[in-house]
Amino acid sequence: MTVTDKGAAPDSGTEAGTEAGAEAGTEAGAQAAAPEASTDRERPAGPRRGAPWLLTVALAVLVGLLTLASAGLGAYEISPGDVLSSIAHRAGVGGNELARVPESVLWNVRFPRIVLALLVGASLGCAGALMQGVFGNPLAEPSVIGVSLGAAVGAVAAISLGLNFLGNWTLPAFAFVAGLGTALLVYSMSRSGGRTEVVTLILTGIAVNAFAGALIGLFIFLADTAAVNQITFWQLGSLSQATWPKVLAVLPCAALGLAVAPFYARKLDLLALGERPARHLGVDVERLRVVLILVVALLTAAAVSVSGVIGFVGLVIPHLLRMAAGPGHRFLIPGSALGGAVVLLAGDLAARTVVEPAELPLGVLTALFGSPFFFWLLRRTRRRQGGWA
């Protein structure tokens, strides 16, 4: 037994040495043969930690550059130096007042349009991020629950019936009340037993959208020729009628919605884990949905009331930012507001200058670029997730 044990020891050591050498050789060979695979394993799969801050700075810089470009470019060009000089003069920090015509063009035509584009774009982008967070669906946008078409019904009714008892505030007021009423109607119709199912809410929104479309068609049929032309142009989406009174009509609602939305970022992150885990973590899911749907209605109805129907901003921007910086709503909500402002500023500048002296409808322009993205997103979702609930 002793001889056998002694004889077995070298064999065991030889086998261990052989296995160790083989493993070492295999690992060395694998590393030499496939360095790229090792590099891929070491590379982080998610977005970089600093990506949200970099994107925020980039979007803020883009807003500034596009504001300067939009103020100067157009049928009557104004140099960037003159734009900055006029702004400094109005702010009381130096600069010089421009001649009467460029000063009037800048402050009575360009700047109201720029501010309105910023407010409308930020409202639509933020509303889209909230909708996708509430429904847990990357294909959700404000029009899903009927806010956009509901606001359009109010505006079209005011135009068709020739209502003007509130002056410049008539159209925004009718559109806002109708959009908010539509959102509340959809939500109340989809509630059952004190709870609201997402699928029921979306299906109810689709039905209400169809009814709203029928009402718009009826009002167009009853309107005269001048009203039909105004309704048609308004439905295409445009900021060409921007004035300071319209800016003031949108500002309170947009500012309130944009200020409230970031406070719900953490709860939306918890809701992304699922309804049941979110409830266990202390989130009142039903109350959260009610509040955020009201905020979405506030933002969307205010935007649509002055710009017409402008689609795909609330769909495209949040999804692109989610792909670039991750799904955290702490960045996604304000980032979507900045991104929406950038897209609408750039789109409005292109609409004014591409076919000068004519002007493209802004809603048509956003749909031309947004529709292909929607198709790509549809295919990507089906390919990666096998569809969606």
Domain membership of residue 223 (yes or no) is: yes
pLDDT (0 to 100) of residue 38: 38
Domain membership of residue 374 (yes or no) is: yes
pLDDT in tens, 165-217: 877 678 778 888 888 888 888 877 877 766 666 677 778 888 888 999 899 99
pLDDT (0 to 100) of residue 311: 82
More confident call, 321 vs 34: 321
> Across the strands, what pairs with 364?
none
Contact at 8 Å (CB) between 335 and 321? yes
Cβ neighbour number for residue 372 with a 10 Å cutoff: 11
pLDDT (0 to 100) of residue 98: 84
Domain membership of residue 120 (yes or no) is: yes
pLDDT in tens, 115-134: 999 999 999 999 999 988 88
Residue 35 pLDDT level (bands cut at 50, 70, 90): very low
CA distance 295 to 282: 21
More confident call, 341 vs 7: 341
User: Would you say residue 73 has pLDDT above 80?
Assistant: yes
Lowest-pLDDT range of 47-56, 57-66, 108-117, 348-357: 47-56
* DSSP string for 202-264: HHHHHHHHHHHHHHHHHHHHHS-HHHHHHHHHHHH---TT--HHHHHHHHHHHHHHHHHGGGG
Residue 3 pLDDT level (bands cut at 50, 70, 90): very low
Contact at 8 Å (CB) between 329 and 268? yes
Q: For position 237, which CATH number holds?
A: 1.10.3470.10
For residue 294, how far is the Cα from the chain centroid? Answer: 17
pLDDT (0 to 100) of residue 12: 43
CA distance 107 to 117: 15
Residue carrying the six token digits 């086998």: 15
Run of H or E including 195: strand 195-196
Contact at 8 Å (CB) between 243 and 112? yes
pLDDT (0 to 100) of residue 281: 87
Lowest-pLDDT range of 72-76, 107-111, 194-198, 352-356: 194-198
Residue carrying the six token digits 């035509």: 109
pLDDT (0 to 100) of residue 279: 87
Residue 14 pLDDT level (bands cut at 50, 70, 90): very low
pLDDT in tens, 284-332: 888 888 899 889 888 988 888 888 888 888 888 998 888 888 888 999 9
pLDDT (0 to 100) of residue 34: 38
Residues 6+ apart with CB under 8 A from 298: 180, 253, 256, 257
Q: What's the domain count of the chain?
A: 1
Helix (H, G, I), strand (E, B) or coil at 163: coil
Tell me: cis bond preceding 52? Omega within 30 of 0 counts: no
How is residue 44 written in tokens? 């982080």
* DSSP string for 77-132: ---HHHHHHHHHHHHTSS-----HHHHHHIIIIIHHHHHHHHHHHHHHHHHHHHHH
pLDDT in tens, 257-290: 999 999 999 999 998 888 888 888 888 888 888 8
Domain membership of residue 54 (yes or no) is: no
Average pLDDT of the chain, as a whole number: 80
Compute the CA torsion angle 65, 70, 74, 76 (nearest 10 deg).
Answer: -90
Domain membership of residue 166 (yes or no) is: yes
Average of per-residue pLDDT across 353-380: 81
Domain membership of residue 64 (yes or no) is: no
The backbone region for 157, taken as left when phi is positive above 0, alpha when psi lies in -120 to 50, beta otherwise, is: alpha
Compute the CA torsion angle 266, 189, 280, 274 (nearest 10 deg).
Answer: -70
User: Would you say residue 386 has pLDDT above 80?
Assistant: no
Average of per-residue pLDDT across 62-91: 90
CA distance 141 to 382: 18
Domain membership of residue 211 (yes or no) is: yes
Contact at 8 Å (CB) between 209 and 149? yes
Percent of the chain surpassing pLDDT 70:
83
DSSP state, 143? G
pLDDT (0 to 100) of residue 44: 39
CA distance 227 to 17: 91
User: Would you say residue 251 has pLDDT above 60?
Assistant: yes
Question: What are the CA-CA distances from residue 319 to residues 94, 133, 328, 372 (Å)?
Answer: 42, 11, 12, 14
- Where in the sequence is the domain holding 251, given as residue range(s)? 112-384
